[in-house]
Copies of this chain bind each other. A is one copy, B any other.
Amino acid sequence: MRLLLVEDDEAIANGVRDALRRAGFAVDHARDGEAAWVMGGDEEYDVVVLDLGLPRLDGMTVLRRWRAEGRVFPIIILSARGAWLDKVEGIEAGADDYLAKPFEPAELVARVRALVRRKAGHAEALLTFGPLLLDTRRMKALVHGSEVNLSPLEYRLLHALAHSGGRPLSAGELSEMLHGVDAAEANAIEALVARLRRKIGAEVIETRRGFGYCLMDG
């Protein structure tokens, strides 16, 4: 799950980044508005956390430009200005949420998770696919009610499939999501899927030959 954090205050940025990383997000960090603008134009992030008071290019401007360009990723505004008028303005400009400083990192994490849930079209932090239950808050998986020990990559693979909304994800796409930008990692994904199937049961991960992988219904 890729997330862009736009924040110039290093102290706040470090705290937030750590909290988000612990929550399982791959966090990119932009320190000014122009960097944010470029990064948001290149990558397709799952969520953007956007400070308003930025050097070089104001946060609201970045927000409006993104929306004018048709970028649809969820955006949470962080701001020192907590008056209701500021909040209304931010949200009407296209933000999905508005959090006034100072705030507790845990609340930000909760709100980010709510947006990810909503973006994927479901409402709960617990997702079930047949015998598999994915607890996205604790980052754990249960099969038939008993906990399964997953490696980081295995968990992220399940997480990616669980949030794809039923769309099959190809090995290439998955490789790109789990590793860096460029894929091309031999058959690493197939091997990963095989190991995962041994742990959680073969039928949970469906192979759609020629399309990719997806999780079983239920």
Tell which of A10-18, A118-126, A173-181 binds the partner.
Answer: A118-126
Q: A92-B137, A168-B138 are in contact. Are A121 and B123 (CB under 8 A)?
A: no
Contact A118 B209 (CB under 8 A): no
Contact B107 A67 (CB under 8 A): no
Contact A209 B152 (CB under 8 A): yes
- Give bound CA distance, A209 to B72, whole Å: 31
The proximity string for A residues 79-90 relative to B, scoring 1 for CB distances below 8 Å and 0 otherwise, is: 000001101100
Contact B139 A211 (CB under 8 A): yes
Contact among B91, B113, B122, B125 with A110 in the assembled complex (CB-CB below 8 Å): B91
Contact among B71, B118, B122, B166 with A138 in the assembled complex (CB-CB below 8 Å): B166
List B contacts of A73 (CB < 8 A).
123
Interface residues of A in 107-160 (CB under 8 A from B): 107, 109-111, 113-115, 117-119, 121-125, 137-139, 151-153, 155
Interface residues on A, range: 35 or more
Contact B152 A166 (CB under 8 A): no
Residue A74 lies at the interface, judged by CB distance under 8 Å to chain B: yes
List B contacts of A85 (CB < 8 A).
106
- Give bound CA distance, A165 to B139, whole Å: 11
Residue A21 lies at the interface, judged by CB distance under 8 Å to chain B: no
List B contacts of A199 (CB < 8 A).
none
- Give bound CA distance, A96 to B96, whole Å: 10
B-contacting residues of A (Cβ < 8 Å)? 67, 71-75, 84-85, 87-88, 91-92, 94-97, 103-104, 106-107, 109-111, 113-115, 117-119, 121-125, 137-139, 151-153, 155, 165-168, 208-211, 214
Question: What are 25 A-B pairs at a CB distance below 8 A?
Answer: A71-B123, A72-B122, A74-B123, A75-B123, A84-B103, A85-B106, A87-B107, A88-B104, A88-B106, A88-B107, A91-B110, A91-B111, A92-B110, A92-B113, A94-B123, A95-B114, A96-B118, A118-B119, A121-B122, A137-B167, A138-B214, A139-B167, A139-B168, A151-B209, A155-B211
> Told that A67-B124, A91-B110 touch, could you supply 11 new A-B pairs with CB distance under 8 A?
A67-B123, A71-B123, A72-B121, A72-B122, A73-B123, A84-B104, A91-B113, A92-B125, A139-B208, A151-B209, A153-B210
